[in-house]
Structure 1
């Protein structure tokens, strides 16, 4: 088999894997998910790790809209976290959607 074809096949597989993991997401730190006796990460730290890369380090906006001064209800925020509208990946809350919504709304006070 032609070595160039082998190289291009492996290269294409690597690119596809990169895109797939980028779209689906991959937990940067498996310890962030509380299991058994493990202690859950504080919600502010969880939001920073999972949201700040798009919504800005201070959540005032970046590639994605600001999370400060939200006029949404808690239910609307939960729905957004679960459905992942636009280019936002769905289910980033990892079961903590209500906590995240409550935290984001507390930033407005």
Structure 2
């Protein structure tokens, strides 16, 4: 009985850990004053992508379970990318990022051509 309970708890922990955790607030005052505006947004976009996207799109956005995003800006504009991030498309589920983070990431990805 204890073994089954332990296995259930361990399995649940692994599944919840793989799905990510609670999002940390992005409104840290120390982040908003670093570098030029473009540098801060790019830094934030890369951080958001590292935390939320690389498990499917690969560490260098080369693809994996999700498509290659290294030249996604040549195929989609910023608004189309943001729409995909927010509403999902194909096997990508909706709601991975909030609207603010989706806007930052879409801007960054749209530049990848």
Decide which structure has the larger Cα Rg and report it.
1
TM-score, normalising length from structure 1?
0.67
The reply to whether residue 39 of structure 1 matches residue 31 of structure 2 is yes
- Please list every run of 5 or more consecutive structure 1 residues that lacks an aligned counterpart in the other structure: none
* CA offset digits 1:28-64 (Å, max 9, x no partner): x94xx43342315712333234322321222121221
Unaligned runs of 5+ in 2: 33-39
TM-score (norm 2): 0.65
Aligned length: 100
**Greater share of residues in helix:** 2
RCO higher in structure (CA 8 A, sep ≥6): 2
The Cα RMSD (Å) is: 2.7
Moved more, 77-86 or 54-63: 77-86
1:62 and 2:57 are equivalent in the alignment: no
* Residue 76 of structure 2 is aligned to residue 72 of structure 1: yes
